[in-house]
Chains A and B, each alone.
Chain A
Amino acid sequence: MPCPELSTCNEILLKELKNFVPLLLFRWFCRKEYHRDIEGDLLELYELNATERGSAKAKWTLTREVLLLFRSGIVKGAKKRQQLNTTDMVKHTIKFSFRSYMRYKSSFFINLIGLSTGLACSFLIYLWVQDEKRIDHFHEQGERIYQVLTNEDTPSGIYTGEATPHLLADALVEEIPGLSRSISFSPLPNELIFTLEDQKMRASGHFASPDFFEMFTYPLVQGNPATVLSDKANITISEQLAMKLFNGLDNVLGQTLKWNLQGFESQGTITGIFQKPGNNSTHQFDYLIHFEQFEDLVRTYVGELTWETLQPFTYVMLEEGQNPETLSQQIRDFIQKKTGNDSPDLFLASFENRYLYGKYQNGEQTGGRIEYVRIFIIIAAFILVVACINFMNLSTARASRRLKEIGVKKAIGAGRRSLIFQFLSESVLLSLISTLLAIVLVNAVLPGFNRITGKSVFLHWDLQLIMVLSGITLLTGLMAGSYPALMLSAMPSVEILKGKMRNSLKAAMARKGLVIFQFTVSVVLIVSVTVIYKQVEYVQSKNLGYNKEALVSFPKEGRVASELDLFLNQARALPGVQHISAISNNMTRSATTIGQLNWEGKSPDMDVLFQFIALEYGMLETLGVEMVAGRSFSKDFATDDTKVIINQTALALMEMETPIGEFMDVSGQKMEIIGVTQDFHFESLHEVVDPAIMVILPQWTYNVMMRLQPGNHRETLESFSAFFKEFNDGLSPDLKFVDDSYNALYKSEQQVSVLSRYFAGFAILISCLGLLGLVAFTAERKRKEISIRKVLGCGVGRIMYMLSTDFISTLIYAMIVALPVSYFITKSWLDGFEYRINLQWWFFAGAGGLVLLIAWFTVSLQVFRAARVNPVMNLKDD
């Protein structure tokens, strides 16, 4: 029994407990229906304890009691009765969703096709992006691997390159604390010829320092990563190469292989077999040989290794917790002390990020492939939005048909929340069905997609993929459903039931806005696709200053290297060969640069690098490069190997009035200028033409170029191959057409070009589907009006005009928005190219016209059907 006198101090005690946390907690977790009387009990006990043992003790007891009350019978939560209700509601919603899909089949299919294509596009793009992000990210200690890059001053700005001084790698690890490893790596993959007894095999690979397998994670099938390259005579080869050479992997270790790289011969013992790097690696190699062999090769052909000649790539591994910025600064200081020169300037760049962030302009990181990744993510988002808009438009347009349902539901007590829930579940359910369809689609098109992109992606069902797919599905469903759900649930029920509701003006305006947005996206995509296509085409057909048709290139290797003169003379005599000669470049990448140049009138503070091109006689004729002044090299002049030819860019830089007969100082040697060539591109069109000097220096050449006579190229190449094989002890030549290699430089542009063409196609398909739905809906709603007009004598043409003007004007608004937007987008894309097309007015007019035409066709098809209908059919009901 509560003591009666306690009630007098009741109020004071209550005040004390007003904000007592445990009590608040109790109120929060306790079930509504128990809360009042249990709290009464607690308060009463508190009063009792407080008078007996003091309020501090009482509070403590109260806290304890509250904590002990936290048990399943007391805590509020999902109650059985409510659960039943929720499952019933879900069942109801699903049933209603399916009924509405079935009743309005056309909008269901339009939505289904739109959403599933949209989702399929974004899934594909997701797979592509994931694959791009995986490249080079498989090395166990990847985040500690950095590459040393060099900034060099050139007349056209700072050039950022990968070639580093020969002596760098060893010096770095000794003199810079904080680096645990440092390796040299030969720049381009070198094609060399392995000889095993009388068997010859060509393979492409690299030279690398001993630590290579310790730094990078390329698994070894046989051999120990720590020692596999420890000796100068060690060779490691890939499984595939081992299979080809030895027909098996047994007894391969310890075998001796002879190799020949462009005349340089050596041999070594196989000490390891590695798994060939997969598609996710930027390094691709079939063999790795100790780096000192490469240094020997350089010593033989170029000269002593110095701090000035830049050639190998250098990779370093940072010790745990080191900051690349501070190390970069240390390396910069170190190299300046070594060379006493500001250029080249060295810095560290993360190896893992090199693939996506590989582009530097004027020494600043300016993107790279990451730009394509971003473009595609944006395209995916746009296509999804366009597909969602279809759903929004069709649902709000058809709202009038569901008004009765909404009204009745509201009248019998459905809250706004449950209506929103209903419409959202309807759209989420639809997007779920679309996702399933999209997965089927993706699986169907993946082989084609892989062919276009040169990847090997597939749907790999792991947790991440499932999470992302369900995330995209849910997001799409919510995005598509949100607007209709909010709009439909907000309608006043009384007016709905009285039948006073009309499709509001606001909703119609919103629909128009969304259609404008859809078509804007379509037009922008089409303009972009046209520009990308034109640019790629332009690049491939641009006059390069030399003739790349029927020009074949192959490496100078084996006996061709050692007896070049003999080879060229014999080859010249072959039928179908017009010209043949050797050069140090392959016309797709820069080869050698030279800085130690001097001439009369050179300003002392001018510090530029020239391209250094080594030629054999007859090379300029083979390439078809025209002379602007002077003459080409000729064997008729005995001393032409001490003469030099420059290009127009070099002439402009040297500011000479009459260059012919002037002398220039090349690495301390005085050489007479005998000619000036027109500029020709020896690199990709991303780069400008650098100043270049050309000299006769056959021992420096790496490639042989051959011009074929017009006629049957295949026959010529067959007879040439036979000759080459005979000359080179059974080795067949590795012939490449220069225009093929040149086009390969633009592979990523071409991939983007093709992919974006498809995506633009999908965007316009989805947009038109939506438009089709809207037009069909309008025509159906106005069918009585149309019939009456027809009865009163209105012609088909007039009715079509009446029905389509509204849509066509909406489309024209879309054009007005789209054209300036696409202009800015394409212009900024083109700005990344050194040589680019001008934007033509007809790109825009063409894209706009095309979209208008397709849309108009869509509209008229429906409108024509509606206008042709027999009025009796629609009027007999009334």
Chain B
Amino acid sequence: MKKYQLGEFEEIVLLTVGILLDNAYGVTIKLEIENRLERTVSVGALQTALRRMESKGFLESKQGEGSSSRGGRPKLYFTVTNLGKEALQYTRETRNGLWDALPGAFNLQ
């Protein structure tokens, strides 16, 4: 159970990487989250989350070709690993389980 632990921000990042599929690198992930969730994301927070999840094995990174844009710096593309997918699945299931367990008397409205 412990091995699937995901923080709230980590979950958002992992999902966004999934959404962007083949085009997930620092800038796109940041913009995507900012657009969808209407919250600002600092590069620092994002990069730490990415690296942390990479070391946990939820993400994989692959260097893109160097381009003349970005001052010649390469892009680092991220993809979700199978373990990452399992983690997302697990998180979703536990959430759903919790939602389902809400008694009728708990009036959401």
- A interface residue numbers (CB < 8 A to B): 1-2, 6-7, 10, 14, 34, 36-45, 47-48, 64-65, 68-74
Indicate if the CB atoms of B74 and A45 lie closer than 8 Å.
no
Q: Chain A residues with Cβ under 8 A from B23's Cβ?
A: 1
Residue in chain B with minimal CB distance to A42 = B43
Q: Chain B residues with Cβ under 8 A from A64's Cβ?
A: 42
Q: Chain B residues with Cβ under 8 A from A48's Cβ?
A: 27
Q: Within residues 31 to 53 of chain B, which ones have a CB less than 8 A from any CB in chain A? A: 42-45, 47-48, 51-52
Residue in chain B with minimal CB distance to A4 = B69
B73 sits at the interface (CB 8 A)? yes
Mark B39-72 against chain A: 1 for CB-CB distance below 8 A, else 0.
Answer: 0001111011001100000000001000111110
Indicate if the CB atoms of B44 and A70 lie closer than 8 Å.
yes
Residue in chain B with minimal CB distance to A65 = B43
Q: Chain A residues with Cβ under 8 A from B27's Cβ?
A: 2, 41, 44-45, 48
Shortest Cβ distance from B52 into chain A, in angstroms?
6
Shortest Cβ distance from B58 into chain A, in angstroms?
15
Complex Cα spacing A47 to B69, Å: 10
Q: By the criterion of a CB under 8 Å from any partner CB, how many residues of chain B are at the interface?
A: 24
* Choice from B44, B63, B67, B76 contacting A69 with Cβ under 8 Å: B44
B89 sits at the interface (CB 8 A)? no
Q: Chain B residues with Cβ under 8 A from A36's Cβ?
A: 73-74
* Choice from A37, A65, A73 contacting B42 with Cβ under 8 Å: A65
Indicate if the CB atoms of B70 and A2 lie closer than 8 Å.
yes
Contact A40-B47, Cβ < 8 Å, known A2-B27, A7-B69, A10-B69: no
Indicate if the CB atoms of A40 and B73 lie closer than 8 Å.
yes
Indicate if the CB atoms of B47 and A7 lie closer than 8 Å.
no
Complex Cα spacing A352 to B55, Å: 65
Contact A73-B47, Cβ < 8 Å, known A37-B26, A38-B26, A45-B30: yes
Indicate if the CB atoms of A71 and B71 lie closer than 8 Å.
no
B28 sits at the interface (CB 8 A)? yes
Complex Cα spacing A1 to B25, Å: 10
Shortest Cβ distance from A29 into chain B, in angstroms?
11
Indicate if the CB atoms of B76 and A37 lie closer than 8 Å.
yes
Complex Cα spacing A42 to B46, Å: 12
* Choice from A10, A38, A68, A73 contacting B52 with Cβ under 8 Å: A73
Complex Cα spacing A40 to B47, Å: 12
Q: Chain A residues with Cβ under 8 A from B73's Cβ?
A: 36-37, 39-40, 43
Indicate if the CB atoms of A1 and B28 lie closer than 8 Å.
yes
Instruction: List, sorted by A's number, 27 A–B pairs whose CB atoms are closer than 8 Å.
Output: A1-B23, A2-B69, A2-B70, A7-B68, A7-B69, A10-B69, A10-B70, A14-B71, A34-B47, A34-B51, A36-B73, A37-B25, A37-B76, A38-B43, A40-B74, A41-B43, A47-B69, A64-B42, A68-B42, A68-B45, A69-B43, A69-B47, A71-B48, A73-B48, A74-B47, A74-B48, A74-B51
List 10 other contacts, CB 8 Å, given A14-B71, A37-B75, A40-B70.
A2-B69, A34-B51, A37-B25, A40-B26, A40-B71, A41-B47, A44-B70, A64-B42, A65-B44, A74-B44
Complex Cα spacing A73 to B67, Å: 26
Q: Chain B residues with Cβ under 8 A from A47's Cβ?
A: 69
